[in-house]
């Protein structure tokens, strides 16, 4: 489905019935990253996902955006489709956007789930890690498909996520701006029940990030998963969605 | 040996589809025939033109090597010297020149399929494949196409149109036009090709967002009543004065789920259709080819398709999309594509026209139309200038 | 110029190794190809070098030889330059330029040595072993020989006889001494029938195989100009092939009477087969279409209804011979009929398949005029929106080449195809003359590159078309 938010075309999806749950994807990713867990979560929730500007099938912003603009955009989007989520799930950069938006009153939610959330900006990592994520997005997102389809889909993913959108000058600048924003301090302002999950094998956003966020968010719950990497929601959709549901019901 | 210039790519969102259409359905068969010299001109997404033999290879685009090629090449220019010549500045001051005998534009969507490129070719006085300026322009405007068809007594369903301007200056009045329609509705940009910007609207609450999306793509919007008991069919047609239909094709989509751009093109038309049997994999997905329709609906749809082709003044080729209310036994004209993706070669092949034959026939039709036009346009001298 | 330069491409040794391999390390055939080649960079077109041990050894031999000579040449050049000796310099230049071409000839030496010191003794040992195993084997041995059609015959016999008996047959078109040896070694000993294909490549091949195998029954499928570069004349080839018949009782020999060239070798007492039938069995009520070939064989009150999926009028004789041999070996008529139900077209031999709604009949392995005649006849009899006939012509036709291809043109014209596609080569003009003689009215397309055409066949066909592809040329013929 499409909708126009402040003159930007936004691609989104809404499925299921129940209290609304917003899923935010990471850098270089698209809403399809949550296909598996959305199918599981829709039994008890209205699951809302969007392609963030510059990704998937949503239009890129005309200028360099930071976390604040992304958070503002998500807020405007929710208003446009007339939806107030009871909980937000953010993966990677989507987690950073959620933390920023919730800490600064742009977004509202009763509960927060962080999946391999980014936002701790270790100096030396930055750019290198983001490229890794980018490459990985293509790989993991397609790993469930047969070989032939995978190859063609990956070309497509790389094309949209990798070349086309990054060619847009604003996205290059957006990228630089975002990787310079650390949200650890913002996380300390959060006061809602928060579930934090990290994969022990995650090299993009290592478990230490989780420990930092866990320390920052009062009363948060931290789960470190064995054999999981940055895309644990694609690796273990059953487990992750079960943990999310359990947390939402508690 | 005649030289055929194949133009593809372009600034429209269907840029990639155009590349595949041109290489697979035009360049390859023409080269296999060994009867024509084929010159490719690729129009990049930014509108720049490139002319290079390597542009005939689809792997160039798949691997992204086309970017390197573009960065190293000069763009060609066109010389109108009573005919058409393609000219390019090469290294060491050399100039490459090529006389063009026929042009095969394989463009989809705006800036190419809409008549603008055809206008340029008319000015050059060179024969070209496909619909001419007025029919292309009509075809690419869903509102005009329906108005012209309707004026010729062809059923077009129930619909209204409005402009972006009306919508912003007086939304209440603009929307009042729509209130006469029965939901569900389709809200579409009038010009955009394929399914871009189209939303199916179940109730009035969803209307605003849908109108906004359509207006994001176009200044002209068409709102149509959905046809109940829907069977969608499409018919490729070829010819000038005596158009010939290929086979009526029925895409096997679920009548309620709308086929968007993603399913249509990005999945290579190979999306799985659970629970649908007997479908045949065509170039654009699962379809019944020929369509299996009750009663005389096949004949009705074929006749309506040919009527539309004639009413809009098409020549060369075009594909007519129709909507059928299977319970009422009624066929409606929906829209028309003057340059169907991959020339709908899979359909023509099933109708007994091979890929090479199709490309060749279209070139022949282009030349035939050109000769006919020249017979009419004989210039005559006046003594008008001498009066001054 | 390109020819000259292609001598110095780094791929030149590989091209030579490929040529050696493609001609099966036959000196004569290799030299003929070498002398005919203009551009060595274009030699590997249809296939690539298969890097076997032998091929690698030759490749290394070539490369090292050329490098060695080049090294000596450079030494000469340096010496010539420093000493100012024009002679030494010119020697250096000569050595440098001549290196590739010289080694393309020198490579024959190890080939010659290997042939006489390694390969021939090994073949002799294999022959003795084959002879020992087969002599001790109790099964009925059926030998199949001929210039064409032997693989089809062998497969038919093996398929039909298998319905009632335990049968072993040489695999695929493997029909030389080494293949026979491997076949013999793989036998279990309890087989009731052995079907063995005899290949003919060099004079004396068939008579040697006859000695080794000692067959009980011989089937000779026909005689046509093939391997004439080795045999010299069809006469000589015929003598070799029919040496198989000479070694047996006439009543144990089945010979195809529809092969004109073979007729003079057929002695009274042989059982001749044709589309009429054989040995008192009369063939009748034949129908041939894309579903296969159907007819009846009658002798007195006995009737065998043959229904095979293989296609071609010229195969009625072969099918009949199969049925009669099966009957002779004691199979019941229902078993024989059931056996024929399992016969399917062999790959590239009048093998029909669907492409984009069209029928394509793949007869790429057909290499003789009899097959062309049968194919064009079938094409004439079929109903189609358009008929398309595709061929490069035939190879190995010796002095008859022009006449045979003119005849081929006439045969094609008689089938009235809408389009004839010819692969451009030395016989194209002869085929065109034949077409014109028979006032062919359709379209003729000349293709420069056969491979491109075959891989893009789907672009040329549409629903309702019938395409007949006859013969295909490999890289060593152009």
List the 51-70 stretch of A: residues with Cβ below 8 A of B.
57
Kindly list the residues from chain B whose CB atom is less than 8 angstroms away from the CB atom of residue A80.
Answer: 209
The minimum CA-CA distance between C417 and chain B, rounded to whole Å, is 16
**Residue predicted with more confidence, C55 or B77:** B77
Q: With residue B98 as reference, give the H or E element that holds it.
A: strand B95-100
Q: What is the pLDDT of residue C8?
A: 83
* Least-confidence region, from B151-165, B279-293, B307-321: B279-293
The structural domains of chain C, with segments of one domain joined by +, span: 2-106, 137-341, 351-470
Considering only CA atoms, which of C369, C372, C350 is closest in space to residue C361? Answer: C350
State the Cα–Cα distance between residues B185 and B197, nearest whole angstrom: 14
> ∠ CA(A145), CA(B194), CA(B14), 5° rounding?
75
Which of B62, B64, B212 comes nearest A163 by C-beta? B64
Give per-residue pLDDT as tens, C190-202. Answer: 999 999 999 988 8
Burial of A91 (0-12, 13-18, 19+ CB in 10 A): buried
State the Cα–Cα distance between residues A76 and C191, nearest whole angstrom: 83
Q: Is the pLDDT of residue B110 over 90?
A: no
Kindly list the residues from chain A whose CB atom is less than 8 angstroms away from the CB atom of residue B215.
Answer: 4
Mean local confidence (pLDDT), C34-58:
80
Question: pLDDT tier at A132 (50, 70, 90 boundaries)?
Answer: low
A130's CB contacts (< 8 A; 6+ apart) are A27, A28, A175, A179
The minimum CA-CA distance between B206 and chain A, rounded to whole Å, is 9
Q: What percent of chain B has pLDDT over 70?
A: 89
Q: What is the pLDDT of residue B72?
A: 86
The minimum CA-CA distance between B354 and chain C, rounded to whole Å, is 4
The tokens 């019935």 sit on which residue?
Answer: A17
- The CATH T-level fold of domain B139-154+228-373 is D-amino Acid Aminotransferase; Chain A, domain 1 (3.30.470)
CA nearest to C357 within chain B: B350
State the Cα–Cα distance between residues A40 and A30, nearest whole angstrom: 18
Q: What percent of chain B has pLDDT over 90?
A: 70
Give yes or no for a contact between B254 and B6, defined as CB atoms under 8 angstroms apart. no
Considering only CA atoms, which of B130, B81, B80 is closest in space to residue B103? Answer: B130
Burial of A188 (0-12, 13-18, 19+ CB in 10 A): middle
CA nearest to B187 within chain A: A2
Give per-residue pLDDT as tens, C376-414. Answer: 999 998 889 999 999 999 887 777 889 999 999 999 999
Burial of C178 (0-12, 13-18, 19+ CB in 10 A): middle
Give yes or no for a contact between A4 and A10, defined as CB atoms under 8 angstroms apart. yes
Is the Cβ pair C462, B28 closer than 8 Å?
no
Give per-residue pLDDT as tens, B3-49. Answer: 999 999 998 878 888 999 999 999 999 998 889 999 999 999 889 99
Q: How far is CA B55 from the centre of its chain?
A: 22
Which of B213, B262, B268 comes nearest A9 by C-beta? B213
CA nearest to C445 within chain B: B33
Tell how strand B49-51 and strand A2-5 pair up.
unpaired
State the Cα–Cα distance between residues C226 and C320, nearest whole angstrom: 25
Strand order of the sheet with strand B244-245? B244-245, B230-238, B317-325, B330-337
Is the Cβ pair B209, A155 closer than 8 Å?
no
Is the Cβ pair C460, B354 closer than 8 Å?
yes
Average pLDDT, chain A: 84
Question: pLDDT tier at C177 (50, 70, 90 boundaries)?
Answer: confident
Q: What percent of chain A has pLDDT over 90?
A: 67
CB–CB contacts below 8 A, B to C: 45
- The CATH T-level fold of domain B2-130 is Rossmann fold (3.40.50)
Kindly list the residues from chain B whose CB atom is less than 8 angstroms away from the CB atom of residue A1.
Answer: 199
**Residue predicted with more confidence, C366 or A223:** A223
Q: What percent of chain C has pLDDT over 70?
A: 98
State the Cα–Cα distance between residues B331 and B291, nearest whole angstrom: 14
The C-alpha R_g of chain B, in whole angstroms, comes to 22
> ∠ CA(C425), CA(C430), CA(C433), 5° rounding?
130
Q: What percent of chain C has pLDDT over 90?
A: 50
The minimum CA-CA distance between C390 and chain B, rounded to whole Å, is 14
Q: How far apart are the first and last CA of chain B?
A: 47
Question: pLDDT tier at A131 (50, 70, 90 boundaries)?
Answer: low
Q: What is the pLDDT of residue C34?
A: 84
State the Cα–Cα distance between residues B161 and C247, nearest whole angstrom: 93
Is the Cβ pair B213, A152 closer than 8 Å?
no
Q: What is the pLDDT of residue A150?
A: 46
Considering only CA atoms, which of B258, B143, B237, B133 is closest in space to residue B195? Answer: B258
CATH number at residue A48: 3.40.50.1820
Mean local confidence (pLDDT), A151-167:
42
Q: What is the pLDDT of residue C322?
A: 96
Is the Cβ pair C385, B34 closer than 8 Å?
no
Considering only CA atoms, which of C29, C37, C32, C31 is closest in space to residue C12? Answer: C37
Strand order of the sheet with strand A45-50? A2-5, A8-15, A45-50, A19-24, A87-91, A111-115, A194-199, A221-225
Average pLDDT, chain B: 88
Is the Cβ pair B32, C453 closer than 8 Å?
yes
* Least-confidence region, from A93-102, A173-182, A237-246, B218-227: A173-182
Q: Is the pLDDT of residue A145 over 60?
A: no
Tokens representing A156? Answer: 């497509």
State the Cα–Cα distance between residues B15 and B24, nearest whole angstrom: 14
The minimum CA-CA distance between A34 and chain B, rounded to whole Å, is 18
Q: With residue A172 as reference, give the H or E element that holds it.
A: helix A169-179
The minimum CA-CA distance between C477 and chain B, rounded to whole Å, is 22
Q: Is the pLDDT of residue A37 over 80?
A: yes
Give per-residue pLDDT as tens, C245-264. Answer: 999 999 999 999 988 889 99
Subunits next to B (3 or more Cβ pairs <8 Å) are: A, C
Query: Structurally, how many domains does chain A consist of?
Result: 1
Cis status of the peptide bond prior to B275, with omega within 30 of 0: no
Is the Cβ pair C462, B353 closer than 8 Å?
yes
Mean local confidence (pLDDT), A108-137:
72
Mean local confidence (pLDDT), B171-175:
90
Tokens representing B55? Answer: 């542009």
The minimum CA-CA distance between B78 and chain A, rounded to whole Å, is 30
Strands, DSSP E only, in A97-230? 111-115, 194-199, 221-225
Give yes or no for a contact between B226 and B185, defined as CB atoms under 8 angstroms apart. yes
Q: In this prediction, does ipTM exceed 0.90?
A: no
Tell how strand B220-225 and strand B159-163 pair up.
antiparallel
Q: What is the pLDDT of residue C349?
A: 85
Mean local confidence (pLDDT), C174-185:
89
CB–CB contacts below 8 A, A to B: 23
Is the Cβ pair A2, B213 closer than 8 Å?
yes
- Touching, C vs A (3+ Cβ pairs under 8 A): no
Residue A220 belongs to what domain range? 2-249
Q: Taking the model in full, what pTM does it have?
A: 0.74
CATH architecture for segment(s) C137-341:
3-Layer(aba) Sandwich (3.40)
Q: Is the pLDDT of residue A160 over 50?
A: no
Q: What is the pLDDT of residue B277?
A: 37
Sign of the dihedral defined by the CA atoms of residues B336, B339, B344, B345, in that order: positive
Question: pLDDT tier at B317 (50, 70, 90 boundaries)?
Answer: very high
Which of C447, C453, C461 comes nearest B354 by C-beta? C461
Is the Cβ pair B216, A4 closer than 8 Å?
yes
Question: pLDDT tier at B253 (50, 70, 90 boundaries)?
Answer: low
Q: Is the pLDDT of residue B127 over 70?
A: yes
Question: pLDDT tier at C475 (50, 70, 90 boundaries)?
Answer: low
Give yes or no for a contact between B15 and B9, defined as CB atoms under 8 angstroms apart. yes
Subunits next to A (3 or more Cβ pairs <8 Å) are: B
CATH of C351-470, one of 3.40.640.10, 3.90.105.10, 3.40.50.410, 3.90.190.20: 3.90.190.20
Q: Is the pLDDT of residue B359 over 90?
A: yes
Is the Cβ pair A1, B199 closer than 8 Å?
yes
Question: pLDDT tier at B323 (50, 70, 90 boundaries)?
Answer: very high
Q: Is the pLDDT of residue A66 over 90?
A: yes
- The CATH T-level fold of domain B159-225 is Dna Ligase; domain 1 (3.30.1490)
The structural domains of chain B, with segments of one domain joined by +, span: 2-130, 139-154+228-373, 159-225
Considering only CA atoms, which of C395, C407, C460 is closest in space to residue C438? Answer: C407
């Amino acid at each position: 489905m499409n909708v126009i938010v402040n003159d930007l075309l936004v691609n989104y999806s809404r499925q299921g019935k129940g209290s609304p749950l917003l899923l935010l994807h990471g850098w270089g990713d698209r809403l399809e990253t949550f296909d598996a867990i959305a199918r599981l979560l829709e039994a008890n929730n209205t699951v809302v996902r969007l392609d963030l500007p510059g990704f998937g099938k949503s239009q890129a912003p005309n200028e360099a955006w930071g976390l604040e603009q992304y958070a503002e955009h998500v807020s405007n989007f929710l208003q446009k489709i007339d939806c107030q989520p009871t909980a937000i799930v953010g993966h990677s950069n989507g987690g950073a956007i959620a933390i920023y938006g919730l800490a600064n009153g742009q977004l509202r939610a009763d509960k927060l789930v962080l999946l391999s959330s980014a936002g701790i900006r270790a100096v030396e990592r930055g750019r290198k890690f983001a490229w890794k994520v980018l490459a990985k997005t293509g790989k993991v997102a397609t790993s469930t498909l047969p070989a032939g389809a995978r190859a063609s889909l990956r070309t497509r993913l790389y094309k949209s996520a990798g070349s086309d959108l990054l060619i847009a000058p604003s996205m290059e600048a957006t990228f630089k701006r975002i990787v310079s924003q650390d949200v650890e301090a913002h996380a300390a302002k959060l006061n809602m029940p928060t579930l934090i999950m990290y994969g022990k094998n995650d090299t993009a956003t290592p478990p230490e990030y989780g420990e930092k966020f866990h320390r920052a968010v009062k009363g948060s719950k931290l789960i470190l998963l064995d054999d999981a990497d940055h895309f644990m929601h694609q690796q273990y959709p059953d487990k992750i969605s079960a943990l999310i549901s359990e947390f939402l019901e508690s | 040996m005649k030289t055929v210039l194949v133009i593809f790519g372009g600034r429209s969102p269907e840029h990639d589809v155009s590349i595949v259409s041109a290489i697979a359905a035009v360049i390859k068969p023409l080269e296999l025939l060994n009867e024509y010299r084929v010159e490719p001109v690729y129009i990049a997404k930014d509108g720049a033109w490139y002319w290079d033999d390597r542009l005939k290879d689809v792997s160039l685009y798949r691997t992204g090597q086309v970017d390197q090629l573009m960065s190293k090449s000069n763009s060609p220019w066109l010389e109108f010297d009573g005919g058409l010549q393609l000219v390019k500045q090469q290294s060491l001051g050399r100039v490459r020149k090529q006389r063009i005998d026929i042009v095969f534009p394989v463009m989809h969507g705006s800036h190419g399929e809409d008549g603008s490129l055809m206008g340029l070719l008319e000015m050059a006085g060179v024969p070209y494949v496909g619909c001419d300026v007025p029919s292309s322009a009509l075809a690419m405007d869903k509102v005009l196409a329906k108005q012209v068809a309707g004026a010729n007594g062809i059923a077009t369903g129930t619909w209204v149109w409005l402009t972006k301007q009306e919508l912003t200056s007086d939304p209440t009045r603009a929307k009042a036009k729509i209130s006469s329609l029965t939901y569900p509705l389709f809200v579409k940009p009038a010009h955009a090709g394929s399914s871009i910007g189209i939303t199916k609207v179940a109730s009035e609450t969803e209307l605003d967002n849908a109108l906004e999306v359509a207006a994001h793509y176009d200044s002209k919007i068409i709102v149509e009543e959905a046809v109940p008991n829907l069977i969608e069919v499409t018919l490729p047609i070829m010819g000038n004065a005596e158009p010939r239909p290929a086979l009526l094709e029925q895409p096997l989509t679920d009548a309620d789920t709308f086929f968007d751009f993603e399913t249509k093109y990005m999945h290579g038309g190979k999306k799985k259709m659970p629970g649908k049997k007997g479908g045949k994999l065509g170039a654009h997905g699962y379809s019944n080819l020929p369509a299996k329709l009750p009663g005389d609906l096949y004949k009705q749809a074929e006749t309506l398709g040919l009527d539309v082709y004639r009413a809009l003044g098409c020549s060369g080729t075009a594909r007519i999309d129709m909507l059928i209310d299977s319970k009422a036994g009624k066929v409606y004209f929906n829209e028309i594509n003057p340059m169907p993706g991959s020339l709908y070669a899979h359909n023509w092949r099933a109708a007994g026209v091979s890929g090479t034959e199709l490309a060749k026939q279209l070139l022949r039709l282009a030349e035939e139309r050109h000769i006919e036009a020249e017979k009419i346009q004989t210039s005559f001298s006046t003594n008008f200038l001498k009066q001054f | 110029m390109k020819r000259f330069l292609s001598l110095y491409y780094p791929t030149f040794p590989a091209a030579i190794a490929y040529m050696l391999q493609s001609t099966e390390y036959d000196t004569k055939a290799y030299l003929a190809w070498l002398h005919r080649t203009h551009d060595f960079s274009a030699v590997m077109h249809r296939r690539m070098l298969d890097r076997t041990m032998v091929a690698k050894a030759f490749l290394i031999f070539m490369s090292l030889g050329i490098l060695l000579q080049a090294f000596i040449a450079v030494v000469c050049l340096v010496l010539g330059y420093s000493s100012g000796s024009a002679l030494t310099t010119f020697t250096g230049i000569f050595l440098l330029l001549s290196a590739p071409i010289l080694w393309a000839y020198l490579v024959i030496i190890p080939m010659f040595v290997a042939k006489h010191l390694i390969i021939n003794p090994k073949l002799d040992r294999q022959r003795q072993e084959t002879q020992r195993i087969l002599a001790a084997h109790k099964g009925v041995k059926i030998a199949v020989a001929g210039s064409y059609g032997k693989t089809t015959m062998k497969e038919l016999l093996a398929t039909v006889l298998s319905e009632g008996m335990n049968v072993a047959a040489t695999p695929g078109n493997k029909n030389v001494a080494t293949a026979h040896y491997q076949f013999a070694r793989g036998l279990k000993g309890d087989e009731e029938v052995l079907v063995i294909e005899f290949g003919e490549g060099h004079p004396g091949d068939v008579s040697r195989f006859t000695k080794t195998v000692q067959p009980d029954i011989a089937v000779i499928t026909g005689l046509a100009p093939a391997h004439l570069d080795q045999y010299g004349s069809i006469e000589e080839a015929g003598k070799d092939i029919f040496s198989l018949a000479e070694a047996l009782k006439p009543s144990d020999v089945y010979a195809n009477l529809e092969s004109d060239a073979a007729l003079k070798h057929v002695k009274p007492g042989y059982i001749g087969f044709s589309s009429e039938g054989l040995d008192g069995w009369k063939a009748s009520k034949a129908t041939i279409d894309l579903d296969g070939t159907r007819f009846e064989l009658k002798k007195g009150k006995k009737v065998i209804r043959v229904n095979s999926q293989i296609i071609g009028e010229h195969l009625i004789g072969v099918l009949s011979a199969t049925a009669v041999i099966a009957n002779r070996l004691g199979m019941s008529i229902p078993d024989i009929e059931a056996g024929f139900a399992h016969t399917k077209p062999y790959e590239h031999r009048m093998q029909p398949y669907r492409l984009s709604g069209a029928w394509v009949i793949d007869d790429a392995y057909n290499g003789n005029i009899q097959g062309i005649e049968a194919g064009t006849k079938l094409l004439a009899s079929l109903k189609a929106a358009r008929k398309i006939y595709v061929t490069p012509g035939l190879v190995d036709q010796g002095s008859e080449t022009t006449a045979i291809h003119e005849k081929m043109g006439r045969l094609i014209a008689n089938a009235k195809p809408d389009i004839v596609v010819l692969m451009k080569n030395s016989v194209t003009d002869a085929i065109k003359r034949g077409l014109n003689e028979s006032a062919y009215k359709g379209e003729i397309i000349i293709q420069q590159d056969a491979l491109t055409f075959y891989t893009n066949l789907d672009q040329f066909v549409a629903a309702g078309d019938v395409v007949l592809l006859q013969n295909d040329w490999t890289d060593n013929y152009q």
